[in-house]
Amino acid sequence: MSDDLLMMLKKALISQDSKLALELTKQLLGNGEDPVKIADLIAEGLKEVGDLFEAQELFLPEVMRAANAAKVALNLVIPAIESRGDATRAGKGRVAIGSLGPHDIGKTLVAAMLVSDGFDVLDLGTLITPERVLGVANSVQVVGLSVLLTSDVRKAAEIIKKVKANNSSVKFMVGGAAMSQKIAIEIGADAYGRDAKEAVRIAREMLGGRRQ
């Protein structure tokens, strides 16, 4: 039954049905479904939406409606994920995370899963600048950058260069549609994460934990 509801939620995102997405998310959480599993499903749905957009089977207005449906669902899922965070593990380290573009779904999801895993997370928001990151660089050990647009790759490289020139100990992990392992290396990032789960594993490794 739960798997059926999850698949229905995924289809609701792809069909841009915010009302149905909200109802299904409420039902899943009410049934005791793992919020991280729901978040993973939402991420899968958004990836499929992105693939359909690239194939020109969906257009920008439809993509935006799908993103809004995802946000409606995540507004319930993210607090459920964060509530599982263990305050006694706050010493795990501090991670700053921000998006170079105006969209925050991926960044918000990663931040929530880091909090759930016991990290102290500083959310820098969207449209971040080198100055914004420089302002917090000395108080964090890791910075995560969400780079969705190819036009923002150069900005990410600038942020990494400026921050590392000021504090070489800060580690950078990057992700998003415009990123790949190859590009991450080219712009000076320390790691590339394909999704929120990978970002958590990378943060663990960077701060002395063991990747699982």
Domain at 27, CATH number: 1.10.1240.10
Please report whether residue 212 resides in a domain.
Answer: no
pLDDT in tens, 47-83: 788 788 878 898 888 988 998 899 899 889 988 887 7
Instruction: Give the pLDDT confidence score for residue 133 in this predicted structure.
Output: 96
Please check whether residues 119 and 187 belong to one and the same domain. Answer: yes
Please check whether residues 130 and 170 belong to one and the same domain. Answer: yes
Please check whether residues 54 and 97 belong to one and the same domain. Answer: no
Please check whether residues 61 and 112 belong to one and the same domain. Answer: no
Full residue range of the structural domain in which residue 52 is found:
2-82
Please check whether residues 200 and 100 belong to one and the same domain. Answer: yes
Please report whether residue 35 resides in a domain.
Answer: yes
Please check whether residues 191 and 101 belong to one and the same domain. Answer: yes
Please check whether residues 106 and 198 belong to one and the same domain. Answer: yes
pTM: 0.76
Q: Which residues contact 3 (CB under 8 A, 6 or more apart)?
A: none
Please report whether residue 193 resides in a domain.
Answer: yes
Q: Which residues contact 174 (CB under 8 A, 6 or more apart)?
A: 144, 145, 146, 147, 156, 184, 187, 189, 191, 192, 193
Please check whether residues 114 and 72 belong to one and the same domain. Answer: no
Please check whether residues 22 and 66 belong to one and the same domain. Answer: yes
pLDDT in tens, 102-121: 888 888 888 888 887 888 89
Instruction: State the 10-residue block means of pLDDT for the chain, 212 residues long.
Output: 88 95 96 90 83 85 89 90 61 89 84 85 93 95 93 95 95 93 97 90 83 40
